[in-house]
Amino acid sequence: MEEDYQQRSAGIVKVVLFGPESTGKTTLAMLLAQHYNTVWVPEFAREYLQQKWEEEQVTCEEKDLLPIARGQMRLENELAEKANRLLICDTDLLETKVYSEEYYGGKTDPVLNKYARKNTYDLYLLTNIDIPWEEDDLRDRPHLREEMFKAFENALINHNRNYVIIEGDLQSRLDKAIDEIDRIMEKKFLNQRT
């Protein structure tokens, strides 16, 4: 059912960590949630695909994308109810759409495409590839980091999303992310009061 992919209205600021694999998104998501004393939405695909790998020794297949998208939105909608005024998302459906296009010949399921466009966030933190690659069972494109980064940035531009590039060492990344989130929160909640 299509409503499984739809974002519920929550009246809070939603920030997405966005970008290629092995660029520090999860670490930054956890640190930001801790800093703001809120919850963060983990990447559903990670657990789903790790379990698939352990059972079948198979990584992501095109047929996995809709179950991943459905699981991601279920998590986001559940955790949005537990967030204070801010929800940190370790990914979103636009990220799943980018992977679909890059891995499966430019194709995206129409339902995934629709909700990747329809669901909205206040800010995207695009994580740069300027940190070392960390290999694991699921990561497979260390030689295409620049191309993948460009695909993610182009998706943000083409979908007219508000984003900033996060780069440098961990403290620099955290400081910039906090500055940008503070600015967005101040603007959103100031507008709500007036």
The string of DSSP letters for 29-90 reads HHHHHHHHT--EE--HHHHHHHHHHHHHS----GGGHHHHHHHHHHHHHHHHTT-SSEEEES
Residue pLDDT, tens place only, 156-183: 999 999 999 999 999 999 999 999 999 9
Please state the rounded mean pLDDT for residues 13-42. Answer: 96
Which residue pairs from 151-158 have beta carbons closer than 8 angstroms and sit at least 24 positions apart in sequence? 151/98, 151/101, 151/102, 152/18, 152/19, 152/20, 152/95, 152/98, 152/126, 153/126, 155/94, 155/97, 155/98, 156/18, 156/94, 156/124, 156/126
Tens digits of residue pLDDT in 120-161: 999 999 999 999 877 765 556 666 889 999 999 999 999 999
pLDDT of residue 135: 72
Average pLDDT over residues 21-39: 96
> Which percentage of the chain shows pLDDT scores above 70?
92
Q: In terms of DSSP bridges, do strands 86-89 and 123-127 run parallel, antiparallel, or are they unpaired? A: unpaired
CATH 3.40.50.300 fits 2-193, yes or no: yes
Give the mean pLDDT of 27-37.
98
Token representation of residue 158:
């083409």
Q: Is the pLDDT of residue 184 over 80?
A: yes
pLDDT at 59 (0 to 100)? 75
CB atoms within 10 A of CB 118: 11
